[in-house]
Amino acid sequence: MWQTEDQLLVPEHWCNFVFDYPQYAVRKTLGTPAALERGTRGVSIAPQQPLALGKQSCNTTDPLIPIPERLLSLYRQYRPTPLRRARQLEQRLDANARIYYKFEGANIAGSHKLNTALAQVYYYRRAGVEHLVTGTGAGQWGTALAYACKLLGMECTVFMVGSSLRQKPQRGTLMRLFGATIHESPSGLTEVGRQARRWDTEGTGTLAVATGEALEFAHSRRRTRFAVGSGENCVLLHQTVIGSEALAQMTALDEFPDWVVACMGAGSNFAGVGLPFLRAAKERSRSVRLLAVESAACPRLTRGRYAYDLNDFSGTTPISLMYTLGSGYIPPPVYAGGLRYHGASPFLSAMYADRMFDAEAIDQLTVLRAGLELAESEGILPAPESAHAVAGVIRVAQRHPHDAPPLVLLVNISGHGLLDIAAYEKFLSGRMDPGWPDDRLLSESLQQVDQLNARLDAPAVELEEPVR
Ligand SMILES: Cc1ncc(COP(=O)(O)O)c(C=O)c1O
């Protein structure tokens, strides 16, 4: 399974969690809203993805999926990524825990997103596509796609959420350096953007709108496709290089984590680091718990509905069963733009409905304080998204009693925060607000989800109380 080059170990396979849990991979989609109106319920849209990616998303037969040689050589540019013990942080916290962190920020795009950007560009290019279009929240995904397109010779267009682009214009510059074209979303360029501007008068933007714009833009052009940054099984699969690599690194240290902690947007880095450990725990008769940390501004798992909902604002993609706050919900413009998406991956949502992992929502002030704590103790300034995971692991460590055997913790730092200086600056100024959601807006949005489900006559989904 392992490849040696200059004594560097990079996984040669992706860890196929769909093989492990086929029950969660059943595609619970209801077709697009337009198809439903025409009465063609259950009919999905024409395949937009190369067959290889589609197959990866629903492969229930192969436990390991080989990473093509060309892609491996690109991964080796920045992999394996470091796994380190956070000794200074442990001392500061006076915690009864050994805390390890995996750092995915040491590549030009600055985050884990490059793992799937390279894979997707590789497969799209092989399928004859020349131009990829996407929506990005915080900009990490857009930057990764722009760089991957540059490396493999494809054109790239990115719709970036307006509030995020204004918070960190350097993200836009970085994407342009790689030759991508950037549009601030909602833009006047697409019907979706023009519609959104009618109610989003300040141009705050959401990932659902940026995604809708990118889809519309891609549909209208030849040899052009929409690339997705998270949520789909194949994207989660590409991220399993993180967990497989961390597993080998921890095994070499004779360690196995009691908890694996990661932040959660739609869920790719959480699945990528966590699911290989669930498999390993089963194989080794060990136990491990996974904690997904979400933004209190956008608490899909801890306050959302497990229901059918739109994936994007335009309703171009099929309706999925997932944890959602409603596709029209505009979360407060917190700095962790990558955690502001209204829904969670359908696969992870199904797992969470069975409480296969834990979830906590943490406010922006606690998160940035934790990010600074990591910077001061370990010399890594995490992206605001990744700082959620740091805040989460600190909580787990601090809750653990001193008279128990020490905990072993693994936290994934999904990206660096060197282009998020404005967020830390605001934090230092004392003028940052915690980013709590407006309860009225949230409950109105959830009512819309309920109304949509009533119209769809969707089967009711019964759930226990969410873990808080
Ligand atoms: C640094 C970073 N971490 C995490 C996320 C969340 O995405 P996902 O849940 O797919 O990992 C993002 C999304 O933009 C991100 O930029």
Please indicate whether residue 367, judged by its CB atom, sits closer than 6 Å to ligand 1. Answer: no
Whether the predicted pLDDT of 292 surpasses 90: yes
Spell out the residues 6+ positions from residue 15 whose beta carbon is closer than 8 angstroms to its own: 63, 64, 237, 240, 243, 244, 275, 276, 279
Percent of the chain with pLDDT over 70: 91
Report yes or no: 231 and 347 within 8 Å, Cβ to Cβ: no
Among candidates 258, 256, 234, 233, which has minimal Cα distance to 246? 256
CA distances from 322 to 218, 319, 325, 327, 348 (A): 25, 9, 10, 12, 8
* Cis previous bond, 186, omega within 30: yes
Predicted pLDDT of residue 40: 41
Longest dimension (CA), the chain: 64
Please indicate whether residue 374, judged by its CB atom, sits closer than 6 Å to ligand 1. Answer: no
What phi and psi values does residue 46 have, to the nearest 5 degrees? -60, 140
Please indicate whether residue 334, judged by its CB atom, sits closer than 6 Å to ligand 1. Answer: no
- How close is the Cα of 362 to the center of ligand 1, in Å? 15
Among candidates 49, 54, 112, which has minimal Cα distance to 273? 112
Shortest-distance atom of ligand 1 to CA 272? 11
Shortest-distance atom of ligand 1 to CA 141? 14
Banded model confidence at residue 39, pLDDT cuts 50, 70, 90:
very low
- How close is the Cα of 77 to the center of ligand 1, in Å? 21
- How close is the Cα of 139 to the center of ligand 1, in Å? 10
- Record the pTM: 0.93
- How close is the Cα of 359 to the center of ligand 1, in Å? 16
Q: What is the pLDDT of residues 241-273, one digit of tens each?
A: 999 999 999 999 999 999 999 999 999 999 999
Shortest-distance atom of ligand 1 to CA 415? 1
Percent of the chain with pLDDT over 90: 80
Rounded-to-integer distance, Cα 201 and Cα 196, Å: 8
Banded model confidence at residue 28, pLDDT cuts 50, 70, 90:
low
Question: Quick count: other Cβ atoms within 10 Å of Cβ 234?
Answer: 24
Pocket test for ligand 1, best of 268, 351, 362 (most atoms within 8 A of CB): 268
Predicted pLDDT of residue 58: 92
Q: What is the pLDDT of residues 410-464, one digit of tens each?
A: 999 999 999 999 999 999 999 999 999 999 999 999 999 999 898 887 665 644 4
Identify the burial level of 184 via C-beta atoms within 10 angstroms of its C-beta, where 0-12 means exposed, 13-18 middle and 19 or more buried: buried
Please indicate whether residue 111, judged by its CB atom, sits closer than 6 Å to ligand 1. Answer: yes
Rounded-to-integer distance, Cα 292 and Cα 135, Å: 23
**Lowest mean pLDDT, pick from 42-51, 387-396, 409-418:** 42-51
Determine the angle formed by the axes of helices 207-219 and 191-199, rounding to 10 degrees. Answer: 160
Pocket test for ligand 1, best of 111, 161, 385 (most atoms within 8 A of CB): 385
Among candidates 370, 395, 393, which has minimal Cα distance to 382? 370
What phi and psi values does residue 84 have, to the nearest 5 degrees? -130, 155
Report yes or no: 217 and 189 within 8 Å, Cβ to Cβ: yes
Spell out the residues 6+ positions from residue 408 whose beta carbon is closer than 8 angstroms to its own: 97, 98, 100, 255, 256, 257, 258, 259
Q: What is the pLDDT of residues 122-152, one digit of tens each?
A: 999 999 999 999 999 889 999 999 999 999 9
Mean local confidence (pLDDT), 68-91: 97
Please indicate whether residue 445, judged by its CB atom, sits closer than 6 Å to ligand 1. Answer: no
Residue type, 81: T
Pocket test for ligand 1, best of 235, 237, 238, 263 (most atoms within 8 A of CB): 263
